[in-house]
């Protein structure tokens, strides 16, 4: 009697462990994009891509429309978010419309946009329009998978840019270290 209870309890424990481990070990299929695909403030509509397969050095144009859902003007900037199977995520911006880095989206208005980017590294990318809204944060368009083939294009890094970034980091560390003793924990 005691042996049958022990076998029953061991069997029950094995079933519980195996059933929970299969839930934990299931494959998840997706491309790692955060949950904030669309903003509640600005909607990215009619996002289209000029190509789904390109060679390195070729361009892709992303077009769409930004639709304001709020009753005030909004400052924003636009770029491309890419998730890929490799660590490269290499794209070079060639043109933006509206031009410049930061632009205004009128209250309850619409702004057409286009981005031209050049592929620099082979891989399978899932590209999205990324709209960064001032004081609110980023939002992503629906996106599309783009396959890039060919040899990588290596762009030289500007020495002035490295020096500038090093100075900014040094100043930030200096401010942090100088103010640390007076901070209240």
User: How would you write the pLDDT of the chain (185 residues) with one tens digit per residue?
Assistant: 667 777 777 776 777 766 665 555 454 444 444 444 566 789 999 999 999 999 999 999 999 999 999 999 999 999 888 876 665 558 888 999 998 789 999 999 999 999 999 999 888 888 999 999 888 888 899 999 999 999 988 877 778 877 888 888 888 888 777 776 655 55
| pLDDT of res. 38 | 61
| pLDDT of res. 161 | 76
Question: In this structure, what are the phi and psi dihedrals at residue 139, rounded to the nearest 5 degrees?
Answer: -140, 150
Q: Which of 119, 43, 28, 49 is nearest to 76 (CA)?
A: 43
- The pLDDT tens digits for 44-54 are 999 999 999 99
Q: Which of 118, 120, 115, 121 is nearest to 143 (CA)?
A: 115
| pLDDT of res. 35 | 44
Longest dimension (CA), the chain: 82
* Cα distance between residue 77 and residue 79, in whole Å: 7
Q: Which two tokens stand for residue 171?
A: 């100043």
Q: Specify the pTM.
A: 0.64
* Cα distance between residue 31 and residue 45, in whole Å: 21
* Cα distance between residue 33 and residue 144, in whole Å: 12
Residue that is written with structure tokens 């002035």 in the block: 160
| pLDDT of res. 184 | 52
Strand 53-55 with 144-149, pairing: parallel
| pLDDT of res. 2 | 64
- List, in sequence order, the alpha helices (H) in 59-158: none
| pLDDT of res. 100 | 78
| pLDDT of res. 135 | 84
Give the SS3 label for residue 143. Answer: coil
Q: Which domains does the chain have, with CATH numbers?
A: 42-154 (2.60.120.570)
């Amino acid at each position: 009697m005691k042996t049958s209870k022990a076998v029953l309890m061991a069997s029950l424990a094995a079933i519980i462990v195996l059933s929970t481990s299969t839930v934990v070990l299931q494959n998840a299929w997706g491309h790692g994009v955060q949950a904030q695909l669309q903003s509640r403030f600005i909607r990215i509509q009619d996002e289209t891509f000029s190509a789904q397969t390109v060679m390195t050095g070729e361009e892709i144009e992303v077009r769409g429309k930004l639709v304001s859902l709020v009753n005030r003007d909004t400052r924003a900037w636009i770029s491309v978010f890419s998730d890929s199977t490799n660590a490269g995520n290499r794209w070079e911006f060639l043109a933006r419309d509206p031009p410049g880095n930061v632009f205004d989206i009128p209250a309850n208005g619409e702004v057409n946009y286009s981005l031209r980017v050049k592929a620099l590294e082979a891989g399978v990318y899932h590209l999205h329009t990324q709209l960064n809204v001032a004081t609110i944060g980023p939002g992503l368009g629906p996106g599309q998978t783009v396959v890039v083939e060919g040899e990588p294009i290596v762009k030289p890094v500007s020495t002035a840019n490295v020096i500038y970034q090093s100075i900014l980091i040094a100043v930030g560390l200096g401010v942090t270290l100088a103010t640390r003793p007076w901070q209240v924990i």
